[in-house]
Chains A and B, each alone.
Chain A
């Protein structure tokens, strides 16, 4: 297409989404540049997770526009599978495939979606398992792993598709406190390597540390955004102050 890397990798303009009579997203515009790390924070039910699912067309939007590398997601002729090859996603509940080993989970999509050779895919999958510090757990089934380990397998599984951008949907919300850190370290390493990331999180300390831009959403709109230093020290909006006083 006409997209070049100096344009936003993800460009959202006035995105709106209703579930029945309930407005979930009420006009959100966000740009994500290549290599940027965006954190979206805000109270529960603010539409953060839905917004992420709109980016890879898991949830269709009602109006507005989302482009990923110049490709319009809200286009009925969209090749969803092509879009999803570029956009990786990690979920709150990990959603690993319980009937396959950790390594097989990582290998499945490159094998069956990208139709690449098994030897090559397996070598890469093993490298990814090392990257998320799970070497030695290749043959474990998801049920035999802790929450934090499962989540890191899920990150490796998503990375195996070599996506251009990664979406993280409250990936530490279901974890025990002691395993949260290992997952956050993995994400931070990714961010430092230059992976474009959109992260929905409740971990304020992490957001402050890793984000280039922080967006606070509430009731389907962006209340305030800015680089972390600015965002946390001199926020202007009353709702932001209220939210931060509750979570910090």
Chain B
């Protein structure tokens, strides 16, 4: 898979080179020239994905516990929130966050600015939260009823049963799909380019328009793609390996 991508990249560089007007710097040199800038942008993509995943996971755990609550209104409300954010397109959520969130917030006496990337991160956090909530619910329900019964018979409260018996067993089951979700969030971060965040996708566009050379188009975007691929593919492989290891014989 990775080899294919490299071949495509080399080919497109070759083709671009052939199309290039004489006297212009080579495509490879151009790509290398802009690499530090693109790396900066990519670092923002990773930062956004980390934050969205971390915050979304914490919120999603709480929402997931709401989904299995014994209190009916809590369960109903959690269900509504989960369904809403799970079934909304990520881009729409991004737009809403960009448009509805203020430019800055006042915390105590100080005014904290809210840059575009922070709002975009918030937009990505929402679907992560809803998806993690579903993961929690599914994992909890996959634990055999005997585990609940044994805990109850030992006089554990419901919270103790969740904390000591059920959730620790869920972690293992949730890890592979959770990693999968993370990879999806990473490849989802370029959506933020549409709302003007200076991440790798936006910067690639900026580079291309400043260079003004059409033969750069295909190799540059392939190069960007390779960055994402190099980051996400190992995650996908690790997910598969983990799934295989956790499989119940």
Contact = CB atoms under 8 A, between A and B. Distances in A.
Interface of A: 56, 58, 80-82, 84-85, 87-89, 91, 93, 95-99, 108-109, 112-113, 154, 157-158, 161
B160 interface: yes
A108 B163 CA distance: 12
Main secondary structure on chain A at its contact with chain B? mixed
A56 B165 CA distance: 20
Contact of A108 (B144, B164, B169, B172): B164
Interface stretch (B64-72, B87-95, B114-122, B150-158): B150-158
B76 interface: no
B149 A109 contact: no
B147 to A, nearest CB: 6
B6 to A, nearest CB: 42
12 contacts: A84-B154, A87-B153, A88-B153, A91-B146, A91-B150, A93-B144, A95-B146, A108-B154, A108-B164, A109-B155, A113-B155, A161-B155
B149 A95 contact: yes
Given A98-B169, A113-B160, A93 B155 contact: no
B196 interface: no
Top 4 nearest A-B pairs (CB, nearest first) are A95-B150, A84-B155, A95-B146, A89-B153
A58 B155 contact: no
B147 A97 contact: yes
Given A91-B153, A98-B169, A113-B154, 14 more contacts: A56-B153, A58-B149, A84-B153, A84-B155, A85-B155, A87-B153, A91-B146, A93-B144, A95-B144, A97-B150, A97-B165, A99-B169, A112-B160, A161-B155
A88 B154 CA distance: 7
A58 B160 contact: no
B168 interface: yes
A56 B154 CA distance: 10
Nearest to A96: B150
Most B CB contacts (10 A, CB to CB) among A97, A154, A158 go to: A97
Given A81-B157, A112-B164, A113-B160, A93 B146 contact: yes
Interface residues of B, number: 17
Contact of A158 (B149, B154, B165): B154
B155 A81 contact: yes
Most A CB contacts (10 A, CB to CB) among B149, B154, B157, B169 go to: B154
A108 B161 CA distance: 11
Contacts of A56: 153
Given A98-B169, A99-B169, A108-B164, A161 B150 contact: no
Interface string B70-90: 000000000000000000000
A158 B156 CA distance: 12
Nearest to A56: B153
A126 B155 CA distance: 21
Most A CB contacts (10 A, CB to CB) among B150, B164, B172 go to: B150
A161 B150 CA distance: 13
Contact of B152 (A84, A99, A154): A84
A218 to B, nearest CB: 25
Contacts of A98: 169
Nearest to A88: B153
Contacts of B149: 58, 91, 95
Interface in B126-162: 144, 146-147, 149-150, 152-157, 160
